[in-house]
Structures are given as C-alpha cells and as structure tokens.
Amino acid sequence: MSGSGSRPSPPAPSPTLRGPMGAMMGGASVKALNFKGSMRRLVARMRSERRLVSAAGVLGLVSVALSVIGPKILGHATDLIFTGLIGGRLPAGATKAQAVARLRVSGQDRIADMVAAMDVLPGRGVDFHAVGLVLLGVLVLYVAASVLSWFQGRVTTIIVQRTVYGMRADVEAKFSRMPLSYFDSKPRGELLSRVTNDIDNIAQSLQQTMSQLLTSLLTVIGVLAMMVYVSPVLALVALVTVPASMFITMTIAKRSQPQFVRQWATTGKLNGHVEEAYTGHELVKVFGRTDESVAAFRELNEQLYASSFKAQFISGLIQPAMMFIANLNYVAIAVIGGLRVASGSISLGDVQAFIQYSRQFTQPLTQVASMANLLQSGVASAERVFEVLDAPEQSADVQPAVMSKAVTPTGVRGRVAFEDVSFSYDPARPLIEHLDLVAEPGQTIAIVGPTGAGKTTLANLLLRFYDVDGGRITLDGVDIRDMRREDLRAEFGMVLQDTWLFGGSILANIAYGAADASASQISEAAQAAYADHFVRTLPQGYDTVIDDEGSSVSAGQRQLLTIARAFLADPAILILDEATSSVDTRTEALVQQAMAALRTGRTSFVIAHRLSTIRDADRIVVMVDGGIVEQGTHPQLLAAGGPYHRLYAAQFSGAVTDEDLEAAQPVG
Amino acid sequence: MLIPLLRTYLRAYQRPIVLVIVFQLVSTIASLYLPGLNALIIDQGVVTGDTGYIVRTGVEMLAVTAVQITCSIAAVYYGARTAMALGRDLRDSVFVTVDSFAAQEVGRFGAPSLITRSTNDIQQVQMVVLLTFTIMIAAPIMCVGGIIMALRQDVYLSSLLVLIVPTLLVCVAAIISRMRPLFRSMQAKIDLINRILREQIGGVRVIRAFVKDTYEQQRFDGASTDLMDVSVRVGRLMALMFPTVMLVMNVSSVAVMWVGGHRIASGDMQIGTLTAFLSYLLQILMSVMMATFMFVMLPRAEVSAERIAEVLDTVPSVRAPQVPQVRTRHTGVVELRDASFSYPGAQEPVLHAANLMARPGETTAIVGSTGSGKSTLLNLIPRLVDVTGGAVLVDDHDVRSLDPTDLRFSIGLVPQRAYLFGGTVATNLRYGKADATDDELWAALEIAQAREFVEAMPGGLSAAIAQGGTNVSGGQRQRLAIARAVVKAPDIYLFDDSFSALDYDTDARLRAALSTITAQSSVIIVAQRISTVRNAERILVLDQGTVVGTGTHAALMATCETYREIVLSQLSEEEAA
C-alpha cells in the first residue's frame, strides 16, 4: 500500500502529538484486547444504575421461577386427567380399597399398586372442574411470568440505553478537553465511527446479553438444584460440563478476540476513508482519483471482511462446541444412567427426569457461552471508546481556589501583553522566539507578514488553543494561564479564516455567541455586517437552514454571517484573522467600515494581508519567521523604507493604476 | 426492501447458501435423532438389562454427535463467510454509487447520512443475514419437525396449531410493524449525531473561541437524548416480543391440556399421546423463540436496507455516456453555449444562458458579486453539475458526450474551499498525478509560492497534513491546492477564487510564475480582486446569473456599468491610501 501512490493516508500524526494513535493505525499491529479490564470498566459504568440492575435481577428471578414451576403444575393437571381416567374405569359405588382389592383378585397387581398410590374415586371420571382450576392457576402463572419478563426487558433497556448515553456524553465532554492537535491527527470519520458504530455495537451487545445472561444463569442454577436433589452422582457427571464449557469458551474466545479488535479498528479506518472521500467528493472526481479512492476503499473493505469473517467464524464455533459437550453429556448420562438402572441403583423414572433436566441445564449454558461473541464484540468496541476517554487532555484549568487570587474576568480593560514569548508546534523547529508585544486597551494592532510567519499562531496562543513554551501572555496583567480558558475566551471575539457554520437556521448561527439575543439584535448585527440584505433575499429569510457544507450559501456570504456573529457577541478584544478575504470587493468596502466601528473601544488584533485595511491601525507589527522585524504606524513604517514598505509597494504594483482612476472618473 | 436487496446481492452466493442449508439440515436432524436413540437405550437396553446394547447405542449416539458438530461447524463457516461477504459487497456498491454521484446528490443525502449508510446500516443487514444462516435456518426445520411429529400423534389436537401459529404471526407482525417507524427514526438520529459531531470536530476552533463548549454539549446532548429515547421505545417493544411469544405458547399448552383432557376422557386419545404432544409443542416453542431472536433484529435491518437501497437506486444527475466520444485533440478549448443551470424546483436559474469561449494560452476571468453564479459556471466544466439548458463544450465536444475520466484528466481545479486530504504534502500533491517525481513536486511548489514553507515544515514533502488541511494556515492550504493542480499539468486550469487568502505580494508573484506554465493551457479564474483579473484576455461579468459583459478590462471599463462599479468599489478603497 505504501508505495502505490494512491492515497494511503497514514492518518497524519500532527507535528506536536504523534503519540497515541501511531500504534493503533499501523495496519498490521493491532492492540490486543484487554478483555477483563475493559469488561470490568464497562460493568463499572452501570454502577450508577445499581437500583435498576437489582430490579431487573429480581424481576428476572421471579419470572424464571414462575416459568420453571409452570410445567410442574401443568403436570398436576395430567395427573388429574389420568386419575379420572382410571377412576372412570373402576366400578362406581365401591371404595378405593375395594377397587384395589378387586384388581388384585383379577391378577392386575401392577395397576392395583398404581391405583393404591393415587387419589382415585372409583366410578368418577375426569374432574374437569378441578382440571379447569389447575389450568386457570397455570394460566395466571404464565401471564405473571410473561409480564415480569416484559418488565425485566424494559428495565434492561433503560439500563443499557442510559449506559451508552452516558458514554456518548463522556466522549463529547472529553472532546472539549482535548488539545486541538488530537483532532488534527485523526481522520474525522474514525472518531465519528467510535461514537456511532462502536457505541451502537455496545448497546446491541449489552441489550442482548444482559437480559439473557441473567435468565440463563438463573435457569442453570435452578436446574442444577433439581439435579442434585434427584441424583447427586449423575449431577456430578453433568457438572463436569461446566468446567469443560468454560475451558472451550475461553480457548475459542482467546482466538476470536484479536479478530474482533481488528474488525472494529478496521471499521473505524474504513469510516475514516469513507468520510474523507465523501467530504472531498468533488476533488476526488476532478482529480480523476475515483479509481484510487475505490481501490483504497476496497483494500480496507477486504480487511474488514477478513477480520469480521474470522471473528464471526471463530466465535461462532462456541455454540457448536457447546452443543457437542451437551450431547456428550447427554450420551454419558444415558449410558451411565442406563447401566445404573440395570444394576438397580437408580429408578428408571429418575433417569428419565434426569435426562430432561440435563437438557434444560446445558441449553442455557450453551446460550451463555455463545453470548461470548456478542460480548467480545461489544467489549472490543467499548475499548475503542475508552481509548478516546483515556487520551491525554490539554492542561487542566487552574482550580477555582487559585483563580480567586487571579483577576476576575469581568471588567477586563483589554491590555494584552506578550512577554518574551516562545512557542513552537514542533520542538525541533522553533517558530516564535522571545516575542514581546503590548496592546494597550482600545488599540488596534495589525499583524502583517508573509503567510507562515506565525500570525495565526499568535491568535492560537492568545486564545490558549496552545500554551506558550516560554515567557507569558498577560491580560490586564494576569497570566492567561491562570485564567480558565472559558473565561479568557469569553473576552475575545473572533472571525476566523475558516468560516464555520453549523446545520441550523441563519438566525441560530448568528446568535451563536449570544444565545439570549433578541431577533432585532440579531438583525442589527446582520445589518452591521451587511448580511441582512442577502439574508432577506433568501426564501425563508433568517429561518433559512444552512448545513455544514453551506451549499445554499456562498463562501462570501458565510463570511458575512460569521462577521455578524462577532458583532453580536460584543467582546472586549477582537481577533480578525484574514477575515474578509473572500467577501466580494463591493461588500468588503462596507465591511471595512463596519469593522472599524466594531473596533472602536476594543483592543483588536487584525491579521491581514490587505494593507489598505490596516492603514489606520494604532500599530502595525511586521512578522517574519516568527519574530517581529518592524513595528510602528503606517506613516512611520513607510518612511522607514523597510519590509513593510516593500510589502506595500508590491501590493500596489499589481493593483489599480492611475489609468483606471481616470477611466473611472466620468462614471463616478 | 430487505428481500429484494438480498435477492440481488446473495445471487452470487447460491452455492455456499445451499451448503449452509444442507449442513444446518443435517445438524438439526442429528440433534433431533439423539432423543430417539436415547429412548432405545431405555426401552431396549435398560428394561431388558442388556448392558451391551446400552454401550453400543451409546457409541452410535457419539457418532451422531460427531456428525452434528461437523455439520454445525461447516454451517457456521459458510454462514459467516457469506454474510460477511454480503456486507463487503454492499459496502462496495454503496461506496462506488456515492462516488458516481454529482454534488447535488451528495448534498441531498448529506455526507453524514451517507457515511452512516455506508457502514452502520450495512452492519445491521449483515448481522441479520448472519443470524439467518446460523439460527433462522435451523428454526423452521425444528418447527416443521415438531409439527410433523405432532400431527403423527394426534391430528385433531394438531388442529389447535392452526389457531396457535396465526396468533403468533399476528402478534409478532403487530410488534414489528410498530418497531419499524421507530427504527427509521433511530437511524435518522444516528445521522444527526454523526452530523453534529462532524461539525463540532470541524469547527472546534470556533467553538472554543466562542466558549460554546457547553452549548455544543447541550446540542449534542439533545441529539443523544433523542437517540436514547427512541432506543428505549424500541427496546420496550423488543422486550414485549419475547414474553408475548412465550405467553402465546404457554397458553397453547394449557389449551392443549384442556382439549386433550376431554379427548382422553371420551376415549379418543391415549394419555401418552398428550404428554408426547406437549413435548413437541415445546420443541415448536423453542424454534419460534429462536426465530424471535431474529425478528427482534429484523425491523432495524429492514429500515437499514431501505436506506441502503435509497442510495443504490439514486440515479446520479451527472452520468457517463454509454458510448463516449473520443476527442481528436486535447487542447483545452472551453466553450459555453447558452449554458444555464437551475436547481430542481427553483424559480430562478443560478446561471442563465451564459456564453464563453476560452482558448489555450488565454486567461478568462469571471467576476461578479457574491452569489452571482461564478462557481456554478466553473463547476459545469468538469461536470460537477450538468447544465439544465444549453451546452458546455471542451475541445468541440459536449462534455456530456465525453468519458468523464478523460474530461477531468484535462482539468486542474482549485476549489474555493481548499480542501486537503489527510496524509502528507507529497500524497496531496500527487493527487492528480500519482507518478510525479519529487522534482516535479518541488517545481509545482515553487510556482505556487509554497516551496519556502514546505521546506520549513518538518519532513518537507513528507510533512503530515491533517484531514482538511487544518494544520496549515489558510494561505498555505490555498497554495498547496494550487500546487496540486499544477502537478497535474492540465489543459484547463480552473481557479475558483483561489488567491483570496494570499497577501498581494504572494498573489502577484504566484500569478507571474503561473503564467510561465499556462502558455499552452486555458485558464479560467473566478476572482474578487481587480488586480488579479485586469490582465486577463477576457473578463466575464456576471450579475445574478446573467452575463452582463464580456471583454478586456479596458473595453469593460468603457461599456459595462456593473464592471465599472466593481472597479470603483476597489478604487475608492485604495484611492484613499
């Protein structure tokens, strides 16, 4: 695969975080399943549902007991019918003793013995009233057993669904505590797969095993008790099947486990490929990469087929193997029982009863064992979820106790200072070194410089997407690392290069930073960002639903919406990161004015490449290769004739000329 | 939908399926045979005290057991193989079908839903087929066996089965039919979870910047709670299934007892028959229970099958011609003849009767305000969408008559959103030309003004790129996307606002470098900045989907009001500088 040149896409370990996924994704090397540990963890997650679990246990217990008793009482009905049958054949009017005596006289000793043992009234036929009563009783029992079993199923469902819901919530919460580098280093579809495919698999596995495991185990115990009661010797023979079953199940399970791990890991990888192929759909087509994309897909698909087949086949062996043991046991009991009857040490009826019980005993045992594959599959998935939950988090926010010593985030004036800041994404390649920069409250600081000079990194550091390696950044004199990220970020408004809208109405998207904004506030913000007009031309206006891909809204319009969002959020400090680059020029001019209005009274960092945007900035900082090479006001820098001058000249060399100015005059 | 889908996709596996059925049959019969042998041990061995017979029959039972396990294993083998192969084939078909979709179809389903359908939904179908092979085949055999034995015991009593079986079917069908809409909603909720998470991972920077973690968690929680609610409702119905079947069967045995009792009393039946009949009823019950296990999974698989079929049955709006025409020359002449495009059902066309002629060596620029149809026009050329009126011609052939692969081979597109694939710089650059040498890559990077920063990246060409290119800045991403198109050395370059994230300096140098390699290519640029387009041979001015002017910068300044307005708007900004 590696040499093929097709998109092998070893899921890019980010420069900063090349750790945890390296091994996972390496194709052949699949981590072994820590079945016991992960199983225990999965069970531990149900601890909060302790009461429901015990409720399900009790309901199951009673339900199983009732359905075991059922056949016994039904047997009583058989006895009643049989009694009636015999009684009907005996002459009426005589007593039981007379009837027995008469039978003995006629030489029918065996029947006489039987009748003597029965509660029979000669001459009376089947007492259907009594039979009816018994059957009614059984009916009540069965209805009760079914209702209880139904309730047990309902409770189990709630336990399982709450458990997986908790897992989803934990993963989601975990995502918000993870460093950005985690998301940069993983295919998005792979992460999605863990939340959808894997958690779904856990739910299905638990749902099916939980209810049956309990019922089956209870049945095994109940039947075992009956067996010991009937014949301790034969019970011992039957008991041998338990360790044998355990041995076989474990032997097979050990072999199928890695396959299940591989199956779900490959599912994740496949999902990753699918997600990326569907996201970059048009590129795949235009670059004629359909064949390669399909080939890469097929390779993963083939791997998934191979691992899931092996997983299902190997674990599928458990059931036949258990059946085999059950049958061996059956044969053993039949033969040993038969021999023992022949030698007179046990009655025939007991052997027959015993064979029935041994059937009832091994059947649920087989069921328990065959659940092993469901459980393994579920635990393999659970482990992938736990892996996310265990991934390293970004440094924890300071504790509230420490916080109290720090500044309260309210009443921020907006003085931002970079003090001797050093930072790099990759320790081998220093990016920003010993940077000093102060923004007084209300100032506009423009950062210019070639792409890759570290402009965006400054914004990342300010918002603590990354923490500085050396020096410190202070907000009104407080080291931002002593503030909670939330509180820090709440002071910032940001318009990013990458517009981001979520699936929802335009209204909701603009109100993203201020959930309690009124409709009029929202439309005011939209007006300020010059988005109001185009929104109103849409068929559903502000209620127009846009999706992640934003197909119904052009790139420029998306940008206007994110600007409107920043207006509405009304923050103390602004970061404008190449924000207006794809708004068309007519609109852009207007946006510039609005931006200027927005900047008044706020400390602003403008990361820009259109120098016209930032002429009136309080300070222009020219960055090259992570360091500040020049700073000052527009006139100062022009006069200095340094890098800024060069940039400025370059910009206008290709732009509008005097000729255009002349040509434009008559129109204007 | 499940049955037709399976009928189509299992056709290739007739032989293994027959094998599964045969092995299951033998295995089931073998396990039904064992009690018979056991009865012999008791009747002829124990009663007569013939220990030799007991041992002999025991050995025979062992042999039957061996046959049984062999067949079971073989059945599991073929069953697992076929079911998993079915999953593989379905995934393959869905993936290839989605690949053939045009942007419109992808948009209609939404990528998150397509992802669920490609993995999760297929998983459901695959599992049900597996269960069918392992359980479902044995169940009817046991059931039929039980019914036959019951009939042999007493025909009259067996008539009760006529009552019992339909009752069972009605109960199961009633529950399943109520589950189906819930499962449909459940799969939709999984789509929603997929969508929200995908947005959250993609927008993680904005979410954190706006301190919306809590809000996002609530949004996710809403979807997650919905999924839980639906799952619980489904689970309740599932929980009903098993007890219902049990109840029906148990009530049946009570009924058999009552009716049978009367028949015994009236002398129509032996009491032994009643006991035997009950045990066969138990066997039928067991088989129905086994089937129930599958019925629980069935509705979800059916909904999933529906969702899969929906994808497979979608006819892409852009289709390859049956017999593609072969271009006699590959020069890259692009012509639009009254090309129009409107979305189905839309009142206004996005693009209305646009005409354009772009020749190799020329640069054609398209300007216009946001939403004027510029990107749509560009997308018509590589057939990302097809015209709804008029025609697009490349090298004098209607693009719809050409082999899409061949057509797109001639085109280098730099889309508006510069998307990079997860991998390395090199894998991204080689995207359009897999066999490009490192020198070619560096040359392309040089032209795209990206050489410097790629050299500075750890690993250079083999530096890691995160999915979507999120680990490089917007300007870098755009330049890599340009380099990717340059590596391909196409006849036609399509730049969709591809210089927007570059500073003027870089933009100017990049375009100067580009001109050296586009001498033999047609270049079509969608741009905002007049400085980017002013030297183009031809500028097309779009306003609300209509071409309002075509010509050189100078000509348009003289004749086109809209163009003048655009230029002026940029002037006013820089004039004051």
Q: Is residue B317 part of a domain?
A: no
Whole-angstrom distance, CA of residue A43 vs CA of residue A244: 26
Q: Is residue B155 part of a domain?
A: yes
ipTM: 0.81
Q: Chains A, B: CB contacts under 8 A, how many? A: 595
Scanning A384-413 for CB atoms below 8 A from B yields none
Q: Is the pLDDT of residue B577 over 50?
A: no
CATH number at residue B91: 1.20.1560.10
Q: Is residue B174 part of a domain?
A: yes
B243 in reach of chain A (CB within 8 A): yes
Cβ neighbours of A583 in B, within 8 Å: 370, 528
The first and second tokens of residue B104, run together, are 């419109």
Polymer length of chain A: 668
Alpha helices in B101-154 (DSSP H): 103-109, 111-116, 122-131, 138-153
Cβ neighbours of A153 in B, within 8 Å: 235-236, 238-240, 242-243
Same domain, B202 and B242: yes
Nearest to B497 by CA among A284, A577, A583, A450: A583
Q: Is the pLDDT of residue A6 over 80?
A: no
* Mean pLDDT score of chain A: 77
User: Which of B99, B236, B514, B552 is the best residue to mutate to test the A interface, defined by the most A CB atoms within 10 Å of its own CB?
Assistant: B99
Same domain, B21 and B66: yes
Q: Is residue B556 part of a domain?
A: yes
Lowest mean pLDDT: which of B44-53, B199-208, B416-425? B44-53
B545 in reach of chain A (CB within 8 A): no
Strand ranges across the sheet with A478-479: A432-439, A416-423, A470-475, A478-479
Alpha helices in A280-347 (DSSP H): 281-286, 290-316, 318-342
The answer to whether the CB atoms of B99 and A284 lie below 8 A apart is yes
Same domain, B244 and B372: no
The answer to whether the CB atoms of B203 and A500 lie below 8 A apart is yes
Name the one residue in this structure whose structure tokens are 């069965």: A142
Same domain, B253 and B379: no
The answer to whether the CB atoms of A286 and B411 lie below 8 A apart is yes
pLDDT value, residue B539: 92
Q: Which domain holds residue B421?
A: 334-576
pLDDT value, residue A159: 92
The answer to whether the CB atoms of A548 and B202 lie below 8 A apart is yes
Percentage of chain B lying above the pLDDT 90 cut: 21
pLDDT value, residue A512: 77
Same domain, B102 and B167: yes
Nearest to A183 by CA among A448, A465, A403, A396: A465
Q: Is residue B323 part of a domain?
A: no
The band of A397, judged by pLDDT with boundaries at 50, 70 and 90, is low
Q: Is residue B75 part of a domain?
A: yes
Beta strands A444-448; A603-607: pairing state: parallel
Q: How many domains does chain B have?
A: 2
For A346, the closest chain B residue by CA position comes to: B46
Q: Please say whether the beta carbons of B251 and A139 come within 8 A.
A: yes
Q: Is residue B326 part of a domain?
A: no
The band of B331, judged by pLDDT with boundaries at 50, 70 and 90, is confident
Q: Please say whether the beta carbons of A599 and A629 come within 8 A.
A: no
Same domain, B11 and B160: yes
CA atoms within 13 A on the CB side of B399: 29
Residues pairing with A603 in the sheet: A573
pLDDT value, residue B311: 92
Q: Is residue B407 part of a domain?
A: yes
pLDDT digits (tens, 9 = 90+) for A50-92: 899 899 888 888 887 887 777 767 777 877 887 787 777 777 7
Q: Which of A81, A503, A650 sits opposite B508 (nearest CB)?
A: A650
The band of B571, judged by pLDDT with boundaries at 50, 70 and 90, is low
Same domain, B260 and B347: no
For chain B, the farthest-separated pair of C-alpha atoms sits apart, in whole angstroms, at 120
Same domain, B339 and B290: no
The first and second tokens of residue A484, run together, are 């909670």
Same domain, B513 and B364: yes
Q: Please say whether the beta carbons of A384 and A265 come within 8 A.
A: yes
Q: Which of B264, B416, B507 sits opposite A555 (nearest CB)?
A: B416
Q: Please say whether the beta carbons of B527 and B499 come within 8 A.
A: yes
Same domain, B306 and B360: no
Whole-angstrom distance, CA of residue B396 vs CA of residue A530: 43
Domain end call among B312, B345, B362:
B312
Q: Which of A142, A428, A667 sits opposite B250 (nearest CB)?
A: A142
CATH number at residue B521: 3.40.50.300
Q: Which residues contact A113 (CB under 8 A, 6 or more apart)?
A: none
pLDDT digits (tens, 9 = 90+) for A32-45: 567 788 888 888 88
Q: Which residues contact A567 (CB under 8 A, 6 or more apart)?
A: A525, A528, A529, A594, A598
* Mean pLDDT score of chain B: 84
Distance from CA of A220 to the nearest CA of B (A): 17
pLDDT digits (tens, 9 = 90+) for B540-562: 998 888 899 899 988 998 898 88
Q: Please say whether the beta carbons of A266 and A272 come within 8 A.
A: no
Same domain, B405 and B460: yes
A661 in reach of chain B (CB within 8 A): yes
Q: Please say whether the beta carbons of A100 and B280 come within 8 A.
A: no
Same domain, B308 and B338: no
Domain end call among B279, B312, B345:
B312
Q: Is the pLDDT of residue A654 over 50?
A: no
